[in-house]
């Protein structure tokens, strides 16, 4: 069972759920805490299923490489057969497509299904073709941006200012992918610093929906949250994430780089919660932040990278 959980990268599924949930909340801005409508539930399920399908397909495609670099992984170690993993990926892709169509039906809009199809195509493109190329980080980042966009589409679609969030989170994850490119061995300092720069740029872009219009729409504890206060919170979290990658560049050993990558992945949930704080206030931000508990719990059993 642990081998299957490791194959599915179970801790990371919480980050996928956080993206879709946050995307829905930022657009819908529900006035009070309550159970989200079915369109939100379908969108979250679609992103989780498709994310799980992507990580399983990733290991299926990398089985020969992992046999040399990571022989302890489920497929090269023989704990899970490649055929069984491939069949699981197909099932998960089907469930993800069905859930995206369910979100489209519930939202009375074709866009969740279309975004789901785009996310499926991006996942397949990355795993099958783009992973080892220069375009790999860009394609991987687009997967994360589309996960956010699927949740947004289920709520009616983003406004002009809100488009900066999926764009910025896509760039942030592209930077993480660049940092993680050589994590199996000794990483190159230049690659790590370039990845840190892309991550920082992505975080600045994601925050643009607040700093660009220089206003904030939500309330916290019944009072408007000042722009400078929100930006300070965002800046502290962003700086701590990027700084950890820079520190890893000083000693680019596999352990340090993997720790920095794992921290950057885990921080996606915190970043999503802060973005929800800007749009919906503290109660919904806490709901998103609770997913961090699932990530931390899952990490006790299987590694996130």
pLDDT at 220: 52
Confidence of residue 104 (pLDDT cuts 50, 70, 90): very high
Residue 257 has pLDDT above 80, yes or no: yes
pTM reported for the whole predicted model: 0.91
Phi, psi dihedral angles at 300 (to 5 degrees): -70, -20
Q: If one looks up domain 2-299 in CATH, what number appears?
A: 1.10.357.140
Cβ(301)–Cβ(4) under 8 Å? no
Give the residue extent of every domain in the chain. Answer: 2-299
pLDDT at 2: 85
pLDDT tens for each residue of 183-236: 656 678 888 999 999 999 999 999 998 877 655 554 554 555 778 889 999 999
* Range list of β-strands (E), 104-261: 219-220, 223-224
- Region 71-99 average pLDDT: 92
Among residues 79, 80, 119, the alpha carbon closest in space to that of 99 is found at 119
pLDDT tens for each residue of 13-54: 999 999 999 999 999 988 778 888 999 999 999 999 999 999
Phi, psi dihedral angles at 219 (to 5 degrees): -120, 150
Distance CA 216, CA 26 (A): 12
Range with the poorest average pLDDT among 128-132, 164-168, 266-270:
128-132
First CA to last CA distance, the chain? 18
Torsion of CA 113, 119, 123, 129, to 10 degrees: 100
DSSP helix/strand/coil, 220: strand
pLDDT at 285: 93
pLDDT at 223: 53
pLDDT at 252: 84
More confident of the two residues 227 and 81: 81
Instruction: Give the Å distances, CA to CA, from 290 to 6, 43, 138, 191, 270.
Output: 22, 18, 29, 33, 9
Cβ(15)–Cβ(295) under 8 Å? yes
Residue 137 has pLDDT above 90, yes or no: yes
pLDDT tens for each residue of 170-183: 999 999 999 988 76
The rounded mean pLDDT for the chain is: 90
- Region 231-254 average pLDDT: 92
pLDDT at 53: 96
Instruction: Give the Å distances, CA to CA, from 177 to 84, 194, 228, 285, 293.
Output: 27, 11, 30, 26, 24
């Amino acid at each position: 069972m642990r081998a299957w959980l490791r194959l599915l990268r179970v801790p990371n599924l919480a980050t996928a759920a956080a993206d879709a949930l946050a995307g829905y909340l930022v657009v819908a801005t529900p006035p009070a805490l309550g159970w989200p409508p079915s369109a939100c539930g379908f969108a979250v399920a679609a992103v989780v299923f498709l994310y799980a399908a992507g990580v399983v397909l990733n290991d299926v495609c990398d089985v020969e490489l992992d046999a040399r670099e990571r022989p302890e992984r489920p497929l090269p170690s023989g704990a899970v057969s490649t055929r069984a993993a491939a069949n699981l990926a197909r099932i998960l892709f089907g469930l993800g497509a069905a859930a995206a169509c369910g979100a489209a039906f519930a939202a009375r809009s074709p866009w969740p299904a279309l975004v789901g199809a785009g996310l499926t195509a991006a996942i397949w493109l990355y795993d099958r073709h783009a992973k080892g190329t220069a375009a790999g980080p860009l394609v991987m980042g687009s997967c994360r941006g589309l996960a956010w966009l699927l949740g947004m589409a289920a709520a009616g679609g983003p406004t002009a200012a809100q488009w900066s969030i999926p764009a910025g989170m896509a760039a942030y994850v592209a930077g993480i992918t660049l940092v993680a490119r050589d994590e199996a061995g000794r990483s190159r300092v230049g690659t790590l610093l370039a990845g840190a720069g892309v991550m920082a740029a992505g975080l600045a872009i994601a925050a643009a929906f607040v700093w660009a219009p220089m206003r904030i729409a939500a309330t916290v504890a019944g009072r408007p949250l000042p722009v400078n206060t929100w930006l300070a919170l965002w800046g502290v979290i962003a700086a701590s994430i990027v700084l950890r990658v820079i520190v890893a560049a000083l000693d680019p050993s596999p352990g340090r780089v993997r720790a920095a990558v794992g921290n950057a992945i885990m921080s996606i949930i915190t970043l999503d919660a802060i973005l929800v704080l800007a749009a919906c206030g503290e109660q919904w931000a806490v709901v998103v932040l609770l997913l961090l508990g699932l990530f931390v719990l899952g990490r006790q059993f299987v590694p996130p990278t």
